[in-house]
């Protein structure tokens, strides 16, 4: 009986670990993917801004932003 109980506890702990590992892996992957997309969007925005300024098509961002304005900036996901 004692051996069956120990085996059950081992199986239960192993399955719990596997399920938690799978859930955390999915969360990590999704967060990493979102971070990568946002970083790419930010780089694209910077590159496009520089391109517009070179062509003489500067937009309202040319005047320079304050830190509070930059904090309000949200990039599309």
Residue 23 lies in a domain: yes
Number of domains making up the chain: 1
Distance between CA atoms of 39 and 71, rounded to whole angstroms? 15
Residue 77 lies in a domain: no
Residue 13 lies in a domain: yes
Reading the block at residue 62, the tokens are 């040319």
Range of the domain at 32: 2-57+64-72
Distance between CA atoms of 21 and 34, rounded to whole angstroms? 20
pLDDT for position 57:
52
Residue 9 lies in a domain: yes
- pLDDT tens-digit profile of 9-68? 999 999 999 999 999 999 999 999 999 999 888 888 888 876 665 555 555 555 555 666
Residue 10 lies in a domain: yes
Residue 8 lies in a domain: yes
Residue 41 lies in a domain: yes
Q: Is pLDDT of 4 > 90?
A: yes
């Amino acid at each position: 009986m004692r051996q069956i109980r120990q085996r059950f506890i081992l199986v239960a702990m192993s399955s719990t670990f596997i399920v938690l590992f799978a859930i955390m892996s999915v969360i990590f992957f999704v967060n990493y993917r979102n971070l990568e997309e946002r970083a790419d969007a930010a780089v694209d925005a910077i590159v496009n801004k520089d391109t517009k300024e070179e062509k003489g098509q500067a937009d309202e961002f040319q005047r320079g932003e304050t830190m509070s304005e930059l904090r309000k900036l949200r990039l599309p996901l």
